Amino acid sequence: MVFSSIVSSPRGTLSPQQALKLANVYLENACHADDTDIALVLCHDSEISLYQAKKAVKRVEDQYVIKEIATAYIDLGNLLERRGRGNEAKISYKKAGKLGYVRNSLASLIDRPGHHVKFSGRNMQSLVAYTLIVIMSSE
C-alpha cells in the first residue's frame, strides 16, 4: 500500500474557482452514487469545498463566483432533499440565500410586460428553493 492512511488534502491553497470546481465534482458524483451513504459523504465533502470557496471569495469579491457558489448550494440542497435529508437541505438553501444571489437571479425570471418565462428544470428548482428560504426566514 502506498499510503499508510488517507487524509483529505487541504483546500486552503485552492482558489475560489478551484474550490467551487471541486465542490461541483463532489456534487456530480453524489448525484450518480447508488449508495446513499456514499452520496451523503460526497455531499459533506462538497459542503466543505463550498465553505472554502465562500471564505476565499470574500477576499476577492468576485460576483460571478459568488453566484456560482449560491447555485451550488441550491444544487446541494436539491440533492439532499432527494436523499431524504430535508433539514440539511433547508440549511443549504439558507446558505444560498445569505449569499444574496438567489433573489437577484429570480428577479430575472419574473414575467415582464410582453415577455413570458417558462419555469422548468434548474429555474424551477431555484424558484422552489427560494420560496423555501422566504418561508423559513419568516418563521
Where do the domains of the chain lie?
Answer: 16-137
Name which of 94, 95, 127 is nearest 109 in CA terms: 127
- Its pTM stands at 0.69
- pLDDT-derived band at 66 (thresholds 50, 70, 90) equals confident
pLDDT digits (tens, 9 = 90+) for 44-55: 999 999 999 988
Name all contacts of 112-119 with Cβ < 8 Å and 24+ positions apart. Answer: none
Q: Which amino acid would we find at residue 121?
A: G
Give residue-wise pLDDT tens across range 70-103. 889 989 988 998 888 988 988 998 888 888 755 5
